[in-house]
Amino acid sequence: MQSTRIIMRKRIVALLLLGALALFLLLVRLAYIQFFMGEHLRKAALENRMRDFPVEAKRGTIYDRNGSELVTSISVDSVFAIPSQIENPSETAQKVALVLDMDPDRVYELLTKRESFVWLKRKVDFQVAKELRSLRLPGIEFVEESKRHYPKEQLAAHVLGFVGIDNQGLAGIENTYDHDLSGVPGRIVVEYDAVGRQIPTAEHKRYPPIPGYNLFLTLDETIQYFVERELDRLVDTYQPRYAVIIVMDPRTGEILAMGNRPSYDPNRWADYPQAAWDRNPAIWYNYEPGSTFKIFTLCAALEENAVDRTRRFYDPGYIKVADRNIQCWKAGGHGSQTFEEVVQHSCNPGFVEIGLAVGVDNFYKYLRGFGFGTPTGIKLPGEARGILIPQKQATNLNLAAMSIGQSVAVTPIQLTAAVAAVANGGVLLQPQLVKRVEDHEGNPVRELKPREVRRVISEETAREVQLLLESVVLKGTGINAYVEGYRVAGKTGTAQVVGESGGYVSGRYVSSFVGFGPVEDPRAVTLVLVVEPQGGVYYGSQVAAPAFKNVMQDVLRYMGLPARNDLPKPERQWAWTEPEEPEEVAVPQVVNLPLDEAVRELRAGNLNFVTRGEGNVVREQVPEAGAIVKEGTTVILDLRVGAVESGGQVTVPDLTGLTIKQAGTLLESLDLLLDPRGSGLAVEQSVKPGKKVDRGTAIRVHFAPPTAGSRPGREE
């Protein structure tokens, strides 16, 4: 009996101890949960019943220098789903897919995800959102977002750039200034019950977004339109691989306009081939500048007093450097010339002499001074640095080539900035695209001032070069750039394209003209660059100089600078015979004619032609029939496929004077093949014009560059 009681007491004590231990452990666990896990569990519970809906910040607006809106943001609806609230996923998926033009299986997959929030479609059109709202589908919600809008479409597309679906800047200014433009996103916090239903009486918190900053660019919308117009003309006339026009204020480095072809509409950038939007040729394209680079050879020589301005130069048509003969672009050379005439005639041997007199070390000092071989620092993504031969490796032969713009590669923006330094008195400025930044209420955030990089040449040297370049327009290769009523200066350039594996590619050229005006107080520097123009004309004086003239004429007038009546007219002093002023002719009606007949009609009126599209029958023509134009005008022929007689023979057309492309297009329309030899214009063909041959016959055609006397204003 006694032992039983003892056992019972022990059991009671053990039970009490176990109970006390359990209570202690529970207290410890409770304390751990309360004091150590409490904050974490509170947040988890809050996250379980509280849901965040993002509220995108409105992206800042981009304006031109005068406050004209170039880029803005418009409000649109984005559609999302709360899967836990979807009552009938299959039926809902069918209805949503029909309205949003989506795959029903994909929508069903989204609606059945074990997530609290899924996007269905971002930034839908107003009418689409309205139609979907009218269905009142449980679990389908809308949130207001903004969509980037470019009201001017292709205007300055490569400068402005574009954004992605989340309004992140992907190209151009949109990318470079993404942080300023983006703003700070907001959010809406909504409370839900355990089964995912929104609690009507619960407190909803809204954290408003902060809009992005607004940018005011240095671009002038009107000047940009001048540039875009000329680029379109260049494309219609020459179908180049690339075309670039830049207008800069030499006093500040501000870019007033920058345009490229090919181009694209940033509203629909994904609809264009990647080549149209991937890179900005104005800051990326490396090319040998040719004679435009002689400006800097001239600057170095005058600044270093390496040339006697009074001496005469003799050009026999070439100059020997090391073991090479460097040819002058003019067959037979220019003979005896003054220093000024060497500049006016863009004489290669003369400039080689000048460059060699400067010397390698001094020449490189000015190359670096003008910014070649390094990026300009313009605030755009993807800028190239150009290509220079390392100074330690440079020989006299390299120096001779660089003196005339060969064996060196520059970008269009580099060349423009360097010429601006000559125009403003010798100071290199960093190209600038943004003038100021403001917040959404119009308060100034920061002002961007012109940035001086360095002084390169003295004001005296700059003034002397300005006058020499003015003489190029009045008396030399730049006559076609002359602007009535204004003093303008500039330099032509024509260079062969360098192949990917080195060496020059036959028949492919880069035509350019760079200049500024008015000479007495330069307000605008303009570069026109045309890469691989088609149609047989490729000299900078013929392709780029007229476009420069058109842009500068409009820019100077737009700036309110009065035209003068006391200025000298250009003097046409050439070694070849200047052609008479072309006569006016009426454009013949060639619509619905076979291409070969249309070509005969046009050539009978001394008119050129280019084709667009594919086919053998003319569908449309520009200018239209009956329009009065100058002889030599290029008529654009839009082609369509027409009926071609089967079997039999065809008459071989006269191909004389046509380019390879023109001859190939014409022969193809007749079911004949082209066997080209050489480059330039057609001078001889294996089958005489008018002879009948079988379809599919190959016609061997010899092409040769135009003779020196055939094209006024020609230079190397």
Q: What residues are labeled active site?
A: 291
With tokens 């200066």, the residue in question is 489
Ramachandran area for residue 666 (φ above 0: left; ψ -120 to 50: alpha; else beta): alpha
- Going by the DSSP 8-state scheme, the letter that residue 480 receives in this structure is G
- Going by the DSSP 8-state scheme, the letter that residue 218 receives in this structure is S
- Strand ranges (E), 26-172: 50-55, 62-63, 69-81, 118-124, 140-149
Integer angstrom CA distances of residue 609 from 508, 525, 536, 587, 637: 19, 32, 11, 11, 7
Q: Which helix (H) or strand (E) holds 492?
A: strand 489-498
Tokens of 59: 């992206």
Task: Let me know if 19 is exposed, middle or buried by CB neighbors in 10 A (0-12, 13-18, 19+).
Answer: exposed
| Contact indicator for 266, 150 with CB cutoff of 8 Å | yes
Tokens of 265: 């509409």
Centre a 10 Å sphere on the Cβ of residue 95 and count the other Cβ atoms it contains.
16
Tokens of 357: 């007199």
Q: Which residues pair with 314 in a beta bridge?
A: 336
Can you tell me the distance from the alpha carbon of 167 to that of 157, in angstroms, rounded to the nearest whole number?
17
Radius of gyration of the chain (CA): 36
Can you tell me the distance from the alpha carbon of 276 to that of 280, in angstroms, rounded to the nearest whole number?
9
Nearest residue to 654 via CA among 678, 690, 619: 690
Query: What angle is formed at CA 513 by the lines to CA 508 and CA 519, rounded to 5 degrees?
Result: 170
- Strand ranges (E), 56-200: 62-63, 69-81, 118-124, 140-149, 186-191
| Contact indicator for 77, 124 with CB cutoff of 8 Å | yes
| Contact indicator for 429, 451 with CB cutoff of 8 Å | yes
| Contact indicator for 423, 516 with CB cutoff of 8 Å | yes
- One-letter amino acid at 164 equals G
| Contact indicator for 58, 72 with CB cutoff of 8 Å | no
Phi first, then psi, for residue 211 (nearest 5°) are -60, 155
| Contact indicator for 569, 549 with CB cutoff of 8 Å | no
With tokens 């006093």, the residue in question is 251
Integer angstrom CA distances of residue 635 from 46, 228, 546: 73, 21, 18
Nearest residue to 293 via CA among 240, 242, 352: 352
Please, how many CA atoms are within 13 Å of residue 183, restricted to the half-sphere of its CB?
24
Tokens of 324: 């090479």
Can you tell me the distance from the alpha carbon of 604 to that of 496, in angstroms, rounded to the nearest whole number?
32
Integer angstrom CA distances of residue 494 from 227, 345, 543: 21, 13, 10
Nearest residue to 351 via CA among 401, 312, 404, 422: 404
Q: Which helix (H) or strand (E) holds 434?
A: strand 434-438
- Going by the DSSP 8-state scheme, the letter that residue 268 receives in this structure is G
Tokens of 150: 């470019």
Who contacts 407 (Cβ-Cβ below 8 Å, separation ≥6)? 288, 389, 398, 401
Task: Let me know if 695 is exposed, middle or buried by CB neighbors in 10 A (0-12, 13-18, 19+).
Answer: middle
